[in-house]
Structure 1
């Protein structure tokens, strides 16, 4: 699990605390705490993590877990366990949130979302609405207007009165806040021994932090009882699903200049020219780097390795491919295959194809049968046909965890 102080690409990313330290006794203990029970072939908490880790505005994620649940959490979260920070929670939800917020101090996010692990049906639109409503001194609470008629019970179990539902809302999570004010509110409540708050909006209200209500989602239910788990499992198992397989494309071209070899797909090939470029100008690997980055929305090769940066002068392009493959794995992706087409009149690629395949297998950590390297000429047409340079086209397919709904 990563260090929460790790720098992120953008400072405006929103941090998240996911509360998962409870025992969930009402859901039944036969299959463990409710956040680790199976729905639709995966753990409840795994679906919750996916919702946040795949959102483009989310940065560091802290998960507050029970002291006994480290191994259980890793099994349930899978590859996503290495993308979050797991901290030991407290004996109450309120204390677990406080400890999660404290773990984010070194990152100093501007905004934070606090979410219950047992709400696995939170969606990107709800997350977006909540983030948009957070201000410098204002929190945000997704909620639904109360639809049922409300009755107040007497000590004898009789109806005492009918309570007006005008203006009443049922609170959901994620609840969003400016980071430092909500952390200060939690710390103040802790030092004063006030431990009876049922959600973070209540602490914000006590600390005089205004909270704006945003529309919640009827699908964003909290799984509390055993029947909730069963209904969630049925809902997911009956819904048409498709595997989350993403394909990225890349293209690169480099001109020839005087030299004695070209480097293609990591292999040096004797030739009467070389390719001109800031690095080793390996067009095949540059195209593949862009294809891999495309599968997880991570920009292009120039984003990560600016050509004006002197540290990449003459660098081996395998560095770029291995970096892109690492980013894919950090996002939970598994590289299914890589396909590269080299377009050139010369040199001949065929005699070096095996060595190229071996090199790519090591870079990508996939078997050779998942790698395809092809070469074609441009039939003497264009700059390639005039032997002024070499072009490459690459395609990469990556399987990410979770399913995509129909």
Structure 2
């Protein structure tokens, strides 16, 4: 069986993407960096034996966050050009001696498992295979004055993507030869392979395998990410806790001074408990009591942000995203209004979503019922999530 390796090139700065302080491969798309998406995709492919990331010196911190929990080789530092960075990755794999190597840009975070499999399957035919898309627009060659020189036959043209797949030994030698001869002007690895006489085969690429280059590409990527999550679900949660002696209450992850406290096995944060149940309900994954039973002493006095974070992680594990969280708190006191925005920020931080996706409202029960008698607080929550359709 062929031994397959992959080089993930993530050593560029991506200044055209509009953020001078954070390279584009570390910027988030749907809560995950572009690099994390790439690394996770290749790490989850059972056909690949070794994954070699290439990063820029100084990017070790954001790289560690992107690579957390994934089975990867230690990163190596890239060079001043993409070509130099690819060669650094190939040299790092030389001791592994893989049969085939895939070379992929971290700026393409949406490569699918099918595309990776097609790349691996296409490589053995000639030792070099690249994904390409047929060009649908009319293409014209122009001179330096902007005058049309000729109209090209688009039937012979392809827009080329990554991952590009090569027999390992020949592509490594091609990179070494280019370095020896001072050639550093190749725009992709296929061009370098052509230069040394390799026959490059083109296989079908993917329209969704976009390259993140400019700021507007991130907006397109976000839209693509949401569009892929077509299973929209809503869950509701309700929680109630009684008052007891004390000097504060926990609400929405905040410690709020009050003449009483809420009693319960944990910190009795009714807001976070209701939100936790709403998310678990949207997932059809039990309720807070089934995951954190009050009979279990380890949850005695536990901070409820742990419960909400658990539910949010369950959404992420299903490949989903939280679209909106809506919390209503019912009580006569304390006053919620002065703390509303801080609660929204607290919930957004725990859930890992933007604060404009969190609503916190408050009302009284007009002195009716147990809340009207100031015996406790109730909370009602709704969670909207989006999952991949299955």
Alignment TM class, shorter chain as reference: 0.5 to 0.7
- Once the two structures are superposed, the pairs formed by residues 192-341 of structure 1 within 5 Å of their partners are 192-240=181-229
1:170 and 1:48 map into 2 onto residues whose CA distance is 20
2:201 and 2:83 map into 1 onto residues whose CA distance is 21
Partner of 1:117: 106
2:220 and 2:109 map into 1 onto residues whose CA distance is 13
Partner of 2:115: 126
Per-residue deviation, residues 229-278 of structure 1 (Å, max 9, x unmatched): 12112321354278xxxxxxxxxxxxxxxxxxxxxxxxxxxxxxxxxxxx
* C-alpha deviation, 1:56, in angstroms: 1.1
Partner of 2:9: 19
Partner of 1:75: 65
- Once the two structures are superposed, the pairs formed by residues 22-41 of structure 1 within 5 Å of their partners are 22-30=12-20, 32-41=22-31
> CA separation of 1:118/1:155 partners in 2, compared to 1, >3 Å: closer, same or farther?
same
Partner of 1:300: none
1:400 and 1:180 map into 2 onto residues whose CA distance is 38
- Once the two structures are superposed, the pairs formed by residues 158-177 of structure 1 within 5 Å of their partners are 158-177=147-166
Partner of 2:176: 187
Question: What is the SS of the residue equivalent to 1:121?
Answer: coil
* C-alpha deviation, 1:83, in angstroms: 2.6
Q: Is the 8 A contact 1:130 1:174 kept in 2?
A: yes
Q: Does 1:156 align with 2:139?
A: no
Equivalences, count: 248
> CA separation of 1:31/1:198 partners in 2, compared to 1, >3 Å: closer, same or farther?
same
Query: TM-score normalised to the size of structure 1?
Result: 0.57
* C-alpha deviation, 1:161, in angstroms: 2.5
Partner of 1:405: 388
1:401 and 1:211 map into 2 onto residues whose CA distance is 38
Q: Is the 8 A contact 1:137 1:181 kept in 2?
A: no
Partner of 1:45: 35
Partner of 1:90: 79
> CA separation of 1:401/1:52 partners in 2, compared to 1, >3 Å: closer, same or farther?
farther
1:239 and 1:143 map into 2 onto residues whose CA distance is 22
Per-residue deviation, residues 124-177 of structure 1 (Å, max 9, x unmatched): 111111100112752111101111101122222233332222311111100001
2:189 and 2:74 map into 1 onto residues whose CA distance is 21
2:74 and 2:154 map into 1 onto residues whose CA distance is 40
Q: Is the 8 A contact 2:52 2:72 kept in 1?
A: no
Query: TM-score normalised to the size of structure 2?
Result: 0.59
2:117 and 2:98 map into 1 onto residues whose CA distance is 17
Per-residue deviation, residues 33-79 of structure 1 (Å, max 9, x unmatched): 11111101110111111111111101110111000101111122322
* C-alpha deviation, 1:204, in angstroms: 0.7
1:137 and 1:212 map into 2 onto residues whose CA distance is 7
1:157 and 1:232 map into 2 onto residues whose CA distance is 31
2:13 and 2:53 map into 1 onto residues whose CA distance is 15
- Structure 2 unaligned spans of 5+: 232-295, 299-309, 321-386
RMSD over aligned Cα atoms: 2.8
* C-alpha deviation, 1:210, in angstroms: 1.2
Partner of 2:132: 143
Question: What is the SS of the residue equivalent to 1:142?
Answer: strand
